[in-house]
Amino acid sequence: MTSPQSLLFVFGLGYSALQLAGQLRPAGWRVAGTIRTPAKAAELQAQGIEAQVWAGQGEVEVPGGAHWLITLPPGRDGCPAAFAASARAATASSITYLSTTGVYGDLRGGWAFEWSPVAPASPRAAARVLAENQWLGASDGRARIVRLPGIYGPGRSPFDRIRDGTAQRIIKPGQVFSRVHVDDIASGLAALMLRPHARGVFHLCDDLPAPPQDVTAYAARLLGLPPPREVAFADAGLSDMAASFYAECKRVGNARAKSALGWRPRYTTYREGLTAVLAAESAGSL
């Protein structure tokens, strides 16, 4: 019988969580969790993942003793999983909540560390802080908060926009972003699952914050294409959501994850990461 120590339950079996499942299951872990549609639940069940349909309201069947991972975006009132399951938080072997480095607001290119104060500058970021506090309160401070920057990986990278002709190199002087390959999220979360007594805030990110136009240009180079045209930020015609990311500029440190978890990003910069993405996508197309 599978022991509780090797059982992962995910509220929101999405992109990063499924990558984590792919790392844990070969090591003997059982993976269960929620998904929004019956079709996706059936697909995951066929892969051996115990998926249940949950639309964000009502009861959730959570096995006792599981390690909980919460990936759901919050609403204005906080995390939907907190309303559904926080009363049972004491039964979890560990609780890990995926948040965002957006909670630090705009640092004008400065560094955000795990101990930096939060200063959410948007309703979306404020909702994240609320959700973090909900889980910390429900778990008597046991919950681990993992704050992530921009996520990329196969099927979710600059290659997609370059291929469909919508990519631009948006120029906003001084703008930099931190980012993380989905494989490095998975390895960092796996390290946390093996350390259920670890506490506090962790950043999972690469070691090179970089201007977004440099990342796009490098992706085009890997495809053997000329870089997309440069466009000033003010002329880029971005949606309100896309423009909101450019309203904040920060660099994100990962020293605590390295020291406390023994974790290192496999893809230390976007260059190694994009090279791996292209190789994975090319292998998948054969």
Query: In angstroms, rounded to a whole number, what is the distance separating the alpha carbons of residues 87 and 98?
Result: 19
Separation of alpha carbons 214 and 223, rounded Å: 14
Task: Grade residue 16 by pLDDT with cuts at 50, 70 and 90.
Answer: very high
Express each pLDDT in 157-175 by its tens digit: 999 999 999 999 999 999 9
Question: How far from the centroid of its chain's Cα atoms is residue 260's Cα?
Answer: 19
Does position 12 have pLDDT exceeding 70, yes or no?
yes
Q: For 239-284, give the DSSP string.
A: -HHHHHHHT---EE--HHHHHHH----SS-SHHHHHHHHHHHHHHH
Q: What is the pLDDT of residues 62-98, one digit of tens each?
A: 999 999 999 999 999 999 999 999 999 999 999 999 9
Q: Which residues, in sequence order, are CB contacts of 257 under 8 Å at separation 6+?
A: 188, 191, 202, 203, 204, 263
What mean pLDDT comes out for the span 33-51?
97
Query: pLDDT value at position 241?
Result: 87
Can you give the pLDDT at residue 77?
92
For residue 225, give the nearest of 153, 175, 161 by alpha carbon.
Answer: 161
pLDDT higher than threshold 60 for residue 1: no
Q: What does the pLDDT average to over 90-117?
A: 97
Which position has the token pair 């791996």? 276
SS3 of residue 107 by DSSP:
coil
State the pLDDT confidence band at 5, using cuts at 50, 70 and 90.
low
What's the rounded Cα separation, in Å, for the pair 20 and 13?
Answer: 10
pLDDT exceeds 50 at position 6: yes
Selection from 202, 230, 228, 210 nearest residue 274 by Cα: 210
- pLDDT, tens only, 166-225: 999 999 999 999 999 999 999 999 999 999 999 999 999 999 999 999 999 999 999 999
Closest CA to 99 of 200, 168, 20, 214: 200
Give the CATH number, domain containing residue 212: 3.40.50.720
Full residue range of the structural domain in which residue 250 is found: 4-284
Q: State the Cα torsion 6-10-13-16 to the nearest 10°.
A: -70
Strands (E) in the chain, as ranges, are: 7-11, 30-35, 50-53, 67-70, 94-100, 111-112, 144-148, 150-152, 169-171, 179-181, 200-203, 230-232, 251-252
> pTM of the predicted model, to two decimals?
0.95
pLDDT band at residue 3, thresholds of 50, 70 and 90? very low
How does residue 2 score in pLDDT terms, banded at 50, 70 and 90? Answer: very low
Tell me how many domains the chain contains: 1
pLDDT attached to residue 285: 56
Task: Give the model confidence (pLDDT) of 219-253 as tens digits.
Answer: 999 999 999 999 999 999 999 888 888 999 999 99
User: Quick one: pLDDT at residue 59?
Assistant: 86
Rounded to 10 deg, the angle between the 182-193 and 15-24 helix axes is 60
**Residues 34-41, mean pLDDT to the nearest whole number:** 97
Q: Report the side by side order of strands in the sheet with 7-11.
A: 50-53, 30-35, 7-11, 67-70, 94-100, 144-148, 200-203
pLDDT at 103: 98
Residue 230 CB contacts under 8 Å (≥ 6 apart), including other chains: 168, 169, 171, 213
